[in-house]
Every structure is written in C-alpha cells, then in structure tokens.
Amino acid sequence: MAYQICINPDCSHQYEIGQVLHSCPVCGELLDVDYEWDSLPVPDSLCHFDRYRSESVNSVRRSSGVWRFHELLPFLPLERSVSIGEGRTILQDARYIASFVGVDAGRLFLQYEGLNPSGSFKDNGMSAALTHGAFVGAKKAACASTGNTSASLAIYAATTRLIEAVVFVGSGKIAYGKLSQALDYGAKTIQIQGDFDDALIRVRQIAKDHNIYLVNSVNPFRLEGQKTIMFRVIEELDWNVPDWIVVPGGNLGNAASFGKAFIELHKLNLIKKIPRIAIINASGSNTLHQLYNKNNDNKNERGLRWNGGHYDKDLIKNFYDKMTSESRKAHTIASAIEINRPANLSKALRTLEFCNGVVSEVTDQEIMDAKARVGACGFGCEPASAASVAGTKKLVEEGVINKEELVVCILTGHQLKDPNATVAYHGNDQNQFNNTLGKFNITSAKFANKPISVPNDPDEIAKFL
Ligand code: F0G
C-alpha cells in the first residue's frame, strides 16, 4: 500500500518501506514515499478532518497536527505514530505585516511553526521520520544541522526514549538557542570543522557505515510529516487554498514536501486550485536563486527547470564545481539557511513546476528589518523565517504578487532560537556580535528598538518615560 519510489521518471524504481534509503540505489536520485491510494481509505473531502479537532476520537489525532491527517500520510498504521504533540501551530491574520509588505489588510497570514515543541517546523518531519525509524528498529538516529533539525531530534529522543540522538553541527555555525537545546536535551553533539554541507556529507557516510538512522530531509519519510504544514494552513483557511505560499529556502525540504502535498491533494481531487509558491533564498546563500533565475550558460537560455524530471544535471555540476574552484561559501546572518548545496534541489524544482513557482533572494538587511517588524507585531521569529516576509515585500514591489492576493508566509522558527541576532540588531555594539552580524551593519537597522542606559535615579529615568 505504501512504498518508496525514485523520482527520476526514467528510473522509477520502487522499494519497500522497510528499507532505509536516502537516495535511489540504482540511479542516485531522491526518493518519494508513495501510496496505492485506490486501496486506501482516502476521504472524499478535506472537511472529513474537522471531526478530529472536535471529537476525542483518538488522542494522537487530537494532540498532533501531523497525525490528525494520517489518511494523507498512511505509510504505517496510526497506532505506530511517534508523537510529542507536534503541529499545534497557528495561522495569524497579520494586518500590520500586510501593510509592511504592501498587500491589503486581511490578505497576509503568518504560519507560526515556531510554536512546535522544539520551536521549529522540523518537529512535523521528525515525528514522521522517527515513526519510520521505530518501525525499522533503529536504536540511534543522526543528523547534520544548522541547529533546528538537531534540536528537534534531541527533543524527540529525550521525550520518547525510543532512540539515542547524535547530532553533527558545523563549528561556530549554529545559533546558541539551538545548540543549547541539543546539549540540554542530552543529544551526543559532534561539532566538526566545516559548515552544514561538510557535516551532511560526513553524517551520510557515518550513518551508512554504522547503521545509524538518518533524519535529514533526504529521508523521504521526514518529508511526509512536513506536508501537514500545508494541510494545517488550508484547514485554518476553512479548506481554501491561498494564492501564494512563501517559504524560506535552505536545504529545500519544505519546498519539496509542500509541492508533494499539493500534487497529492490535487490528484486525490481534494483541492481544485493549486497555490503558487515563492521560495526565498538569503542573498548570501542563494544557490537555488542562481540556478533558477540566472542563465548560467544553459543551452535552453533560461535557468534550471524540472522539465518533467529531465533537468540539466550538468548545469548543477558546473555551478558547484565553480563554487569550489572559487572557494565560494554561503554566508548569511540567517544561519539556519546558510547552505551551499541544497540536498532537495531536484524536488524543489518539481514543486516550482507544479506550483508555477518563483524564486527570489533577500539581503541580510531585508531579512533583519522584516524580522523586527514581525517581532513588533506578533510572536516573532528567527532570522531565516523572516526571509519569507522580506521576500513577499520584494515580490509585491516587483508586481509578482498582487496586493489583493491571499499570501501565507511560513515562519519556520521561534523568536528565541537566535537571541544574538536579535540583540545585535536592536543594540549598540557591532563589535560584540561581529561573528553573528558578519557584513550587516547595525547602523542601518531600520526598526531597532535600542535599550536605554540610565543611572539608577528616578528623575533620570523619568526623562525617558
Ligand atoms: N528556516 C529554519 C528556521 C530552518 O531551520 C531551516 C532549515 C530552514 C528555514 C530551511 O528549510 O531546509 O526545508 O529549506 N534548517 C535545517 C537544520 C537545515 O539543520 O535545522 P529547508
């Protein structure tokens, strides 16, 4: 009923769900989890899922915003689901942010994935990956991470006691909120010299050599869980599909899983409309933007496209070779998305094709200013998340997004994940935060709310009230 399948249309090899794979053993392409939908109890309308919120049918349905949608990711029976209460997130009608980005009031929504147990969207995928991990009898799980995947794996390991967590992070490349989580939750934390890309290559090899279960987004089961972010967005919109989904792009797992969610909903006749997707890179870490929007000597005279699965692999190889020969490395204040070679690139291209998508990039300045607006108007978010809001503003200014269109920005991580970036932006001391700020100069912070230093004297204090 459920199986794994290579996404390369010229290969399409299938594998059982009991196999632990991170790419197709035949051709090396990424794998999907797929289903024989005809033999499964698929609801005939999305309203079917309303009952799981109001009735106490089954506790995991009620308490998990992932497993509430079990019929749409039924790779194992519901009873086997691993859950720590993930996916209880909210969609906020963000009127102040609407005016900041330039769309009409009531047309801009923020999906706060930072409200997950570990403070980021990763928990959606982790619950699904570890459901599969437990099924195959894994005792140890590992990931490479810019911080949130590691925090998520660590919290699941500590809470469920099903597996031991081993996390690999690049040295000096991880925000303190996230590192503190991995350490506090007791994960074995391995800091290696190098960046996220180096850590991912290393952990893939180590997972294979030592039979450790890998939970990075090359694990197709993890992406099944992340589909539910889209289900919850449209659930909150009374099962209406927005015009745009705007998401930050790092390793492109979200982009991959959101596209898969809409491909399946459409195939199952559960939605008629397909939203457009905008994937936003940080300009200091913009591989997808470069490949998608620049010519890069492509024979077809446009950027890289999925092209029904026949995308130009040489274009990618040449781009990466040049990156290496020029010693170019990603660098952005949005450390969560500081990634050179996104592992889900091909799946993101598929999403862009299906959702008539666009790719854009925003500067660290635009990211941090947008983050400050989000913070001042709501629950806040970490820098990478604000790329979605900054990207929306840019796309509205460019006329790509129309001000009457309904836009949902995905805020991927919690405000407290990266306190250094926030304090640096609002503060007065560039030097203290040199490592975090990089090239971003705090004198250009448009929305800084600077702390005021005063003597401990009521009259002096009164002057500032
Ligand atoms: N936003 C946040 C807060 C993230 O932590 C990440 C990825 C992304 C966006 C990008 O998402 O990879 O699906 O495109 N963080 C990973 C990690 C890489 O290790 O925590 P993506």
How many angstroms from the chain centroid is the CA of residue 100? 23
Q: How many CA atoms lie within 13 A of 200 on its CB side?
A: 21
Rounded distance from Cα 250 to ligand 1 centre (Å): 5
Helix (H, G, I), strand (E, B) or coil at 425: helix
Which atom of ligand 1 is nearest to 148's Cα?
Answer: 20
At 435 the pLDDT is: 83
Please indicate, yes or no, if residue 394 is contained in any of the structural domains.
yes
pLDDT at 187: 98
- Tell me, what's the pLDDT at 270? 98
Mutational pocket test of ligand 1: of 254, 409, 414, 422, the residue with most ligand atoms within 8 Å of the beta carbon: 254
Residue 451 lies in a domain: no
Residue 436 buriedness (CB in 10 A; 0-12 / 13-18 / 19+): buried
pTM check: above 0.75: yes
pLDDT value of residue 41: 94
Residue nearest to atom 7 of ligand 1 (CA): 336
**Residue 199 maps to a domain:** no
Tokens of 95: 């009127």
Q: Please check whether residue 307 lies inside any domain of the structure.
A: yes
Rounded distance between C-alpha atoms, residue 125 and residue 254, angstroms? 10
Looking up residue 409, the CATH number of its domain turns out to be 3.40.50.1100
Q: 263 C-alpha vs ligand 1 centroid, how far in Å?
A: 22
- Residue entry with tokens 């709310």: 449
Give me the pLDDT at residue 59, please.
Answer: 84
CA dihedral 394, 397, 402, 404 (to 10 degrees): 100
Instruction: Tell me how far the alpha carbon of residue 11 lies from the centroid of ligand 1, in angstroms.
Output: 29
Residue 140 has which token pair? 């140890």
Q: Is residue 56 part of a domain?
A: no
What per-residue confidence (pLDDT) applies to 298? 60
Backbone angles phi, psi at 125, to 5 degrees: -80, -35
In a domain, 262, yes or no: yes
Indicate whether 414 belongs to any domain.
yes
Domain contains 216: no
The rounded distance, in Å, linking the Cα atoms of 165 and 208 is: 16
pLDDT of residue 297: 65
Cβ partners under 8 Å of residue 44, min gap 6: 269
Domain count across the chain: 1
Owning domain of residue 99: 90-117+223-437
The reported pLDDT for the residue numbered 26 is: 98
Question: Which residues of the chain have a pLDDT value below 70?
Answer: 55-58, 296-301
Q: What are phi and psi of 34, to 5 degrees?
A: -130, 170
